[in-house]
């Protein structure tokens, strides 16, 4: 929330304190909340008094631009910035909406182990460790455990950390990330597509409904998100290959993986 100190409405000591206080200091502030359309929140505080809890000295992150490496070295402080705060709030909403969706659709939450004895997707990208006298690996996927659990519960899902020992620095190749893995017994391809589409739409709509301030802080164009609503068009693999070739992807051949 933005606080405004008007010199004519406070004593000299309070006004001087407001001028001198350093960035990220902890304060007790009292005042009156007033409506103001210029504020992101639609209101602000007319400050009457200020009490210092703790003054911050030599705060390393300033309004100027810093490189990502510098900010990651000060991650515990970077999290307090407006944009990082918005990112975490949106992530929290995605997690909340994920549990909401799967609970409402009859799924049971299962927690597969993070340390595993084998890998479902090959051994070239595994983090190896010792499990007492045996070999163990950080999980790439809970797929094998979820398939077994689906035979007991019908519809299950896991949501937890996943590790890939990939030596690649791109936004699409993360060493650690959290992954949703649903499994459904006695389900055909059309039903699987329906659940996937409903899930994506539910997440996007939940973020739009609950995170407008955060999206604004990140300068996101919400009109693109507003279009992410079911039903989605479905095309065959043959049609997808034909479409890509028309769009200039001449090197793609039938049978190749789009990923």
| Statement: residue 242 has pLDDT above 90 | yes
- The residue among 156 and 258 whose pLDDT is bigger is 156
Mean pLDDT of 136-163: 95
Q: Is the pLDDT of residue 132 over 70?
A: yes
Q: What is the pLDDT of residues 48-75, one digit of tens each?
A: 999 999 998 888 888 778 898 999 999 9
All domains of the chain in start order, with CATH: 3-54 (2.40.50.140)
Burial category of 237 from C-beta neighbours within 10 Å (exposed 0-12, middle 13-18, buried 19 and up): exposed
Determine whether 47 is exposed, middle or buried from the number of CB atoms within 10 Å of its CB (0-12, 13-18, 19+).
buried
Residues 97-113: tens digit of each pLDDT: 999 999 999 999 999 99
* Predicted confidence band of residue 163 (pLDDT cuts 50, 70, 90): very high
Tell whether the model's pLDDT for residue 123 goes beyond 60: no
CA atoms within a 13 Å half-sphere pointing along the CA-CB vector of 123 = 7
Residue 233 φ/ψ, nearest 5 degrees: -65, 145
- CB distance 66 to 78 below 8 Å: no
Average pLDDT, the chain: 92
Residue 168 binned pLDDT confidence (cut-offs 50, 70, 90)? confident
R_g of the chain computed on alpha carbons = 25
Give dist(CA 241, CA 252) in Å, integer.
8
């Amino acid at each position: 929330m933005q606080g405004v100190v008007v010199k004519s409405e406070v004593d000299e000591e309070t006004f001087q304190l407001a001028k001198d206080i350093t960035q990220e200091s902890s304060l007790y502030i009292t005042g009156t909340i007033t409506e103001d359309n210029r504020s992101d929140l639609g209101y602000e505080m007319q400050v009457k008094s200020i009490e210092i809890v703790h003054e911050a000295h030599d705060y390393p992150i300033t309004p100027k631009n810093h490189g990502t490496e510098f900010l990651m070295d000060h991650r515990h402080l970077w999290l307090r910035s407006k944009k990082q705060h918005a990112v975490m709030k949106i992530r929290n909403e995605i997690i909340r909406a994920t549990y909401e969706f799967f609970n409402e659709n009859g799924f049971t939450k299962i927690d597969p182990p993070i340390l595993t004895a084998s890998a479902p997707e090959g051994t070239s990208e595994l983090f190896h460790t010792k499990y007492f006298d045996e070999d163990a690996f950080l999980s790439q996927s809970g797929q094998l455990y979820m398939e077994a659990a689906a035979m007991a519960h019908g519809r299950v899902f896991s949501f937890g950390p996943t590790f890939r020992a990939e030596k690649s620095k791109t936004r699409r190749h993360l060493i650690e990330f959290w992954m949703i893995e649903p499994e459904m017994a006695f389900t055909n391809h059309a039903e699987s597509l329906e659940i996937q589409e409903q899930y994506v739409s539910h997440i996007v709509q939940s973020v739009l409904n609950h995170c407008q301030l955060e999206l604004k802080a990140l300068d996101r164009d919400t009109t693109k998100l507003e279009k992410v609503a079911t039903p989605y068009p479905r095309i065959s693999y043959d049609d997808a290959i034909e479409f890509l070739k028309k769009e200039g992807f001449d090197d793609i051949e039938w049978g190749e993986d789009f990923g």
